[in-house]
Amino acid sequence: MDFNLFMGDIAESARNEITQAGFEELRTTDDVKEALSDEGTTLVMVNSTCGCAGGVARPAAASAIHYDKRPNQLVTVFAGQDREATELARQYFEGYEPSSPSFALLKDGQILKMVERHEIEGHSPVEVVNKLQGLFDQYCEDI
């Protein structure tokens, strides 16, 4: 099997999983500029094709948002796939090293907190859900 075809299938599956959960894909720099300039809270999931993204991060993202408090906006960029969009999004994550998968919580375009790869890899989806919902409790309003 052709490697690029194989990876395309994996990436498409990863994209579908997070968008079906309710996250809007930001595939271009214009998409990122528009979404991250919005007022309110925004959760950015930095998606990837690694095992901890599929086994922990995406399931946690899909579950965490079913909560009394959540960000106003749910968006995702795809590391290794939509490189320019991901690079621009990471510029908003001031003080944090590039990490994927990861989650960034912003308010009015300013970084509040991140859940980085080291807080995802080796953890259960439930642990990551708890971290995200703890941030929602701290920074987001009731829905």
Q: Tell me if 16 sits within 8 A of 78, measured CB to CB.
A: no
Catalytic residue among 11, 52, 111, 112: 52
Whole-angstrom Cα distance, residue 32 to residue 82? 11
Bridge partners of 115?
Answer: 103
Q: In what order do the strands lie in the sheet with 73-78?
A: 24-25, 73-78, 41-47, 102-107, 110-115
140 is catalytic: no
Q: How far apart are CA 100 and CA 92, in angstroms?
A: 15
**Per the structure block, which two tokens stand in for 75?**
């968006």
- If DSSP codes are grouped into helix, strand and coil, which group holds residue 56? helix
User: Could you confirm whether 50 is annotated as catalytic?
Assistant: yes
23 phi and psi, to 5 degrees? -90, 140
- Least Cα distance to 126 among 41, 49, 64 occurs for 64
Which candidate in 50, 57, 65, 105 is catalytic? 50
Q: Which residues are catalytic?
A: 50, 52
